[in-house]
């Protein structure tokens, strides 16, 4: 499905995780913040490039972006709206909530390298099951910037022990979309006490002989919003991404 | 020479281009701007990552940085001070000119990959001759951001035709310090009418069988200052870099 067709389906009301959608086209995380917070967030992203690789930034109030020809208010499957850091609404359209001072940041998403993992024979469990990737708030703090601070969020994919090195090698070639894993095995080291109860997304089965592999996740900006409590923010619903008009191959380091 | 020793020498008054200094330690471009311009510049850098790869950003007024344990006011060999976009002073110390609202950006420098080029047998002419690298203002515009706009600046190294591919391959592994060349051969295409008259640095000989190879250059922020005319800015003198405490290998993509 082309990005245009996928976005039209979401605009029409389809509400599903986007992993596996529009293969070859880059998916992105959304965080839209008031202009007054834009420098703090852009600096937060610069200081935390593994979790917050910025792919594009709009002008205040703008509803499309240079890598995204759709409408940021309607063309995602689902949104989360925050007021003073509290999740206020979980909706399929934010047209009525949009503001002229909102600067939208499109942040790289690990879904970008999943096609490359599959091609190399590395299984991706949440694609096999048609569910959402499990994501966890960790005990690692991001480097703060101005008024923005918060914990690192990670996504997890179980990888057969014999293929962990392959998964590292392949994803390290995509530094703009989280790159190599931040942690391999030992969930407790990240402060994850129950791997079957992710903070976002859905749990996946870890089979015998598989290692949980953790990548920095673009939900980190939303965790920073919850921690830092700016007056207003809009994000995508975790796993329900912005489908852009950029090609995955643009983010591949040769 | 260690970064600490090199910085002490510059603080004591040594005024030389830093190419080849403190081998293995990362060198950086400096641009310090009033806090009011910090978002526009950080966004300009995000939109022009080949020429403006940001390695570190200070808090307003801060004189050191997370990757730089020295004093930004004294520990560079030479500085350029701009008022309303005009070059106002060319000095060895900016202590008396420092302001509490200055945000300093350390931007990646192509000197970082020169050791890797030499190791692969690619000659680097300005190191052989002990001079400064030639740099040119091009006819290519950077993507503007807010009040910041200006032309792309490039550095040039002549490379034997048989080694151009090697030079591309090696430097593409350093995306955080300008990465692969932006242009190979045909200086006129970049609007460079006289290759022997660089806008910054010193000319180098291009020998028969050598191709001029152009990399995006961290003097681009200073060209943007000249073009955009913020009230005040401090940069390094081109080729006279910030020697940081980071290792070149940190910026190598495996």
pLDDT at A158: 97
pLDDT at B79: 98
Percentage of residues of chain B with pLDDT beyond 90 = 89
Output A244 or A173, whichever has higher pLDDT: A244
Sign of the four-CA dihedral A106, A108, A111, A114: positive
pLDDT at B176: 84
Contact A46 B54 (CB under 8 A): yes
pLDDT at B175: 84
User: A47 at the B interface (CB within 8 A)?
Assistant: yes
Contact residues, chain B, for A46 at CB < 8 Å:
42, 54, 57
User: A67 at the B interface (CB within 8 A)?
Assistant: no
What DSSP line would sit under chain B, residue for residue? --HHHHHHHHHTT-----TTTTTTEEEEEEEEEEGGGHHHHHHHHHH-TTT--EEEEPPTT-SSBTTB-S-TTTSSS-EEEEETTEEEEEES--GGG--TTEEEEEEE-GGGGHHHHHHTT---HHHHTT-PPPEEEEEEEPPPBTTB--EEEEEEEEEEGGGHHHHHHHHTT-GGGT-S-SEES-GGGGT-S-TTS-SBS------TTEEEEEEE-TTHHHHHHHHH--SEEEEEPTT--EEEEEEGGGG---
pLDDT at A249: 85
pLDDT at B214: 97
Contact residues, chain B, for A38 at CB < 8 Å:
39
Among the partner residues A42, A253, A254, nearest to B46 by beta-carbon distance? A42
Contacts of B65 (CB under 8 A, 6+ apart): B56, B57, B58, B72, B104, B106, B244
pLDDT at B221: 98
Contact A42 B47 (CB under 8 A): no
Preferred mutation among B37, B46, B250, B252 to probe A, highest tally of A CBs within 10 A: B46
Average pLDDT, chain B: 95
Residue B253 above 80 pLDDT? Answer: no
Contact B42 A42 (CB under 8 A): yes
Contact residues, chain A, for B103 at CB < 8 Å:
none
Among the partner residues A43, A46, A254, nearest to B172 by beta-carbon distance? A254
Among the partner residues A38, A47, A54, nearest to B39 by beta-carbon distance? A38
Contact B47 A57 (CB under 8 A): yes
Contact residues, chain B, for A39 at CB < 8 Å:
38-39, 42
pLDDT at B19: 87
Topology of the domain covering B3-110+228-249: PSTPO5379-like (3.40.1640)
DSSP state of A160: E
Q: Which residue of B has its CA nearest to A107?
A: B46
Smallest CA–CA separation between B176 and chain A, in Å? 11
User: A49 at the B interface (CB within 8 A)?
Assistant: no
Confidence of residue A23 (pLDDT cuts 50, 70, 90): confident
Task: Determine the average pLDDT of the residues in B82-101.
Answer: 97
Per-residue model confidence as pLDDT tens digits over B9-27: 999 999 999 988 998 899 9
Task: Determine the average pLDDT of the residues in A30-48.
Answer: 98
pLDDT at B254: 57
Write out the CATH class of domain A3-110+227-249: alpha beta
Residue of A127, A83, A53, A119 whose CA lies nearest to A235: A83
Preferred mutation among B52, B57, B169 to probe A, highest tally of A CBs within 10 A: B57
pLDDT at A51: 96
Three-class DSSP category at A190: helix
Residue B195 above 70 pLDDT? Answer: yes
Q: Which residue of B has its CA nearest to A179?
A: B253
The A residues from 143 to 172 touching B (CB cutoff 8 Å) are 172
- Is the distance from CB of A210 to CB of A195 less than 8 angstroms? no
Average pLDDT, chain A: 95
pLDDT at B59: 97
Percentage of residues of chain B with pLDDT beyond 70 = 99
Q: Residue B85 is encoded by which pair of tokens?
A: 């976009």
- Is the distance from CB of A238 to CB of A28 less than 8 angstroms? no
What is the Cβ-side half-sphere exposure of residue A103, based on CA atoms within 13 angstroms?
Answer: 19
The CA distance from A65 to A94, in Å, is 17
Considering chain B, tell me which residue range(s) the CATH 3.30.2040.10 domain(s) occupy.
113-216
Considering chain B, tell me which residue range(s) the CATH 3.40.1640.10 domain(s) occupy.
3-110+228-249
Q: Which residue of A has its CA nearest to B251?
A: A175
User: A207 at the B interface (CB within 8 A)?
Assistant: no
Per-residue model confidence as pLDDT tens digits over B124-147: 999 999 999 999 999 999 999 999
Per-residue model confidence as pLDDT tens digits over B18-66: 988 998 899 999 999 999 999 999 999 999 999 999 999 999 999 999 9
Complex confidence, ipTM: 0.85
Contact residues, chain A, for B38 at CB < 8 Å:
39
Three-class DSSP category at A1: coil
The CATH number of A113-216 is 3.30.2040.10
- Is the distance from CB of B88 to CB of B75 less than 8 angstroms? no
User: B31 at the A interface (CB within 8 A)?
Assistant: no
Per-residue model confidence as pLDDT tens digits over A188-208: 999 999 999 999 999 999 999
Residue A253 above 80 pLDDT? Answer: no
The B residues from 79 to 108 touching A (CB cutoff 8 Å) are none
Residue of A178, A167, A77, A180 whose CA lies nearest to A125: A167
Residue count of chain B = 254
User: B15 at the A interface (CB within 8 A)?
Assistant: no
pLDDT at B112: 87
pLDDT at A254: 57
Q: How many C-beta atoms surround the C-beta of residue B125 within 10 A?
A: 18
Contact B172 A253 (CB under 8 A): yes
Per-residue model confidence as pLDDT tens digits over A132-182: 999 999 999 999 999 999 999 999 999 999 999 999 999 998 888 999 999
Considering chain A, tell me which residue range(s) the CATH 3.40.1640.10 domain(s) occupy.
3-110+227-249
């Amino acid at each position: 499905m082309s990005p245009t067709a996928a976005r039209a389906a979401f605009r029409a009301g389809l509400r599903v995780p986007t992993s596996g959608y529009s293969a070859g086209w880059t998916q992105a995380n959304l965080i839209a913040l008031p202009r007054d917070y834009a420098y703090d967030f852009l600096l937060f992203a610069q200081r935390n490039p593994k979790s917050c690789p910025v792919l594009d930034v709009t002008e205040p109030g703008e509803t499309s972006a240079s890598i995204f020809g759709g409408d940021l208010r309607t063309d995602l499957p689902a949104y989360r709206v925050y007021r003073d850091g509290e999740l206020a609404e979980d909706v399929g359209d934010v047209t009525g909530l949009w503001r002229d001072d909102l600067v939208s940041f499109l942040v790289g998403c690990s879904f970008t390298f999943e096609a490359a993992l599959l091609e190399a024979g590395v299984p991706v469990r949440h694609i096999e099951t048609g569910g959402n990737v499990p994501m966890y708030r960790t005990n690692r703090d991001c480097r703060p910037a101005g008024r923005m601070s918060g914990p690192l969020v990670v996504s997890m994919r179980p990888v057969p022990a014999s293929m962990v090195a392959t998964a590292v090698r392949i994803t390290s070639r995509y530094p703009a979309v989280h790159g190599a894993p931040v942690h391999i095995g030992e969930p407790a080291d990240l402060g994850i006490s129950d791997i079957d109860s992710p903070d976002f997304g859905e749990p996946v089965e870890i089979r015998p002989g598989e290692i949980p592999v953790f990548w920095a996740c673009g939900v980190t900006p939303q965790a920073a919003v919850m921690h830092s409590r700016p007056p207003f923010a809009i994000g995508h619903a975790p796993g329900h991404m912005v489908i852009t008009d950029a090609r995955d191959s643009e983010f591949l380091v040769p």
